Structure 1
Amino acid sequence: MSSDKLESFHIRFIGKNYCAWEFQFKLFVKGKELWGHINGSNLAPRDAEALSKWEIKDAWVMTWILSLVEPHFVLNLRPYKTVAAMWNYLHTIYNQDNSVRRFQLEYEMANFTQGSLSIEEYFSGFQTRWTDYSDIVYANVPAAALSTVQTVHATSKRDQFLMKLQPDFEIAWSNLMNRHLVPSLDACLSELLRKEQRIVTQATMEHWVNVSAPVFMAYAA
């Protein structure tokens, strides 16, 4: 296990992506059945032999963390001798579930548009920001009201996503919004992906028509 290369781990912690990094790292460690070293449910034993084995596993997880952060973070983590202490440090410093982080996400979402991105790339960026924002908001919502808030947010999320598409998709999203029953975001995304594929196919066909068109040349007598 110590030789794991983290092939499936695609997110590297750079300081501003803690929520996404934490989510994927947590799943990875749970898959290795070592999450107890981080959340404190698997404390260091007193027996010398058991402690030695525990320390080896703890070192594995610390090594994974050090392998998945930018180099300049490594020195900051050096003082911590257990993965739980290392994890708590990162969580305390970078998990900004507060008004500052919320304001930052609101600003990013307000200014985030499709631009030159593909539908899939645009949705990925939009989804990441919205998920981080929702996690902060929902943390302060009473359980009894959570379902209602989530329903309202789902509508707002869909509308914001559609309204910030490229002009090429204006007719498509307008048709979606004007339906008697407006589809969910997932259904809208599916239709937009098909629309994008048609646009790409049409552009490719037009390109080949232009390339293969006969060229007439006049020769001087």
Structure 2
Amino acid sequence: MASEKYDVLFVRLNERYYPAWAFQFEIFVTRKDLWGHVDGNTPAPDKDKDKVAHAKWAVKDAQVMAWILSSVDLNIVLNLRPYKTASTMWSYLKKIYSQNNAARRFQLEHNIANFKHHSLSIADFYSQFMNLWAKYTDIVYANLPSEGLSSVQTIHEITKRDQFLMKLRSEFEGIRSNLMHRDPVPSLDACLNELLREEQRLLTQSIIEDQRLSTVPVAYVAQGKSRRHDMSTIQCFSWKRFDHYASTCPKKFCNYCKRDGHIIKECPIRPPR
């Protein structure tokens, strides 16, 4: 069945994705009731004592090896040629690719620390932030004992929420301060819902303000087409200077994404109304 294909289930193993790959592979093989071939708890029967049992074991072990080979990058496949059982393949991969976790964790911590809201929408900012955080926690949680995992996850939930709020653009300072001073501080999901509403409010407010400022040239043009326009009375609502329209402004500025080069009506990242 198509749902059984490991190429749609697994993150392929390369130098960067060992924790995620190992996690998904363990679930997949455990579901097949063959995890003992990986962790060594299902050793090969003595071939001299029971050839049939050994042959059946070899078939199952070969199946697990095939899954491993099919879920790693091509440059890794040849490195596995010396290993003749699933457990020895697994041990090799764990030894080689998990030892870089410290460096990878440092890199992700650096990426999270430097990740900023900038011109992203709230939804896009949240999605990218959560993707970084998931990669980081995959590494942190990989070797934690089960009895301590829950406590660490609770602390990380608080840290994740606070990091997300601190990285918001300055225009969200009001709602950020409001959220952080509540007792208790809402969860990240609750904060996200309020931020999405605030984003829509700011967008609507910006559109109304732009429309208000643009009524000056519109009203003047409406007075009559036969008269020549006195451009000194026409104000650009983008640059706030007189003598030209916003559509022809040499210094267009978007009140939504806070970037130069276009006005709010032309903004490529503004959510649809």
Matches within 5 A, 1:20-169: 20-46=20-46, 47-96=50-99, 99-114=102-117, 116=120, 118-119=124-125, 121-135=127-141, 139=144, 147=151, 150-165=153-168
**Length-normalised TM-score, structure 1:** 0.72
CA contact (8 A) 1:126 1:161 kept: no
Deviation, structure 1 residue 71: 1.0
What is the letter of the counterpart of residue 133 of structure 2? Answer: Q
Instruction: Find out whether 1:15 has 2:15 as its counterpart.
Output: yes
Cα distance, 1:110–1:44 mapped onto 2, change above 3 Å: same
**Length-normalised TM-score, structure 2:** 0.60
Cα distance, 1:114–1:38 mapped onto 2, change above 3 Å: farther
Aligned-residue CA RMSD (Å) = 3.8
Deviation, structure 1 residue 11: 1.3
What is the letter of the counterpart of residue 62 of structure 1? Answer: M
Percent identity reads 49
Mapped to 2, the partners of 1:55 and 1:166 lie a distance apart of 59
Provide structure 2 residue ranges, at least 5 long, that are not aligned to the other structure. 209-224, 226-273
Cα distance, 1:113–1:27 mapped onto 2, change above 3 Å: farther
Please give the secondary structure, in 1, of the residue aligned with 2:6.
coil
Spell out, residue by residue over 1:135-160, the C-alpha distance to the aligned partner (whole angstroms, 9 max, x if none): 27x849x95x983x554443222111
1:188 to 191, 214, 238: 191
CA contact (8 A) 1:66 1:74 kept: yes
Please give the secondary structure, in 2, of the residue aligned with 1:176.
helix
Deviation, structure 1 residue 68: 1.3
State the aligned residue count: 203
Deviation, structure 1 residue 16: 0.5
Q: Which has the larger radius of gyration?
A: 2
Mapped to 1, the partners of 2:29 and 2:197 lie a distance apart of 37
Deviation, structure 1 residue 62: 1.3
Cα distance, 1:90–1:132 mapped onto 2, change above 3 Å: same
Spell out, residue by residue over 1:2-39, the C-alpha distance to the aligned partner (whole angstroms, 9 max, x if none): x9422641411121011111111111111111111101
Deviation, structure 1 residue 124: 3.2
Cα distance, 1:173–1:12 mapped onto 2, change above 3 Å: farther
Q: Which deviates further from its counterpart, 7-16 or 110-119?
A: 110-119
Provide structure 1 residue ranges, at least 5 long, that are not aligned to the other structure. 207-217
Residue number in structure 2 paired with 1:214: none
Q: Which deviates further from its counterpart, 106-115 or 25-34?
A: 106-115
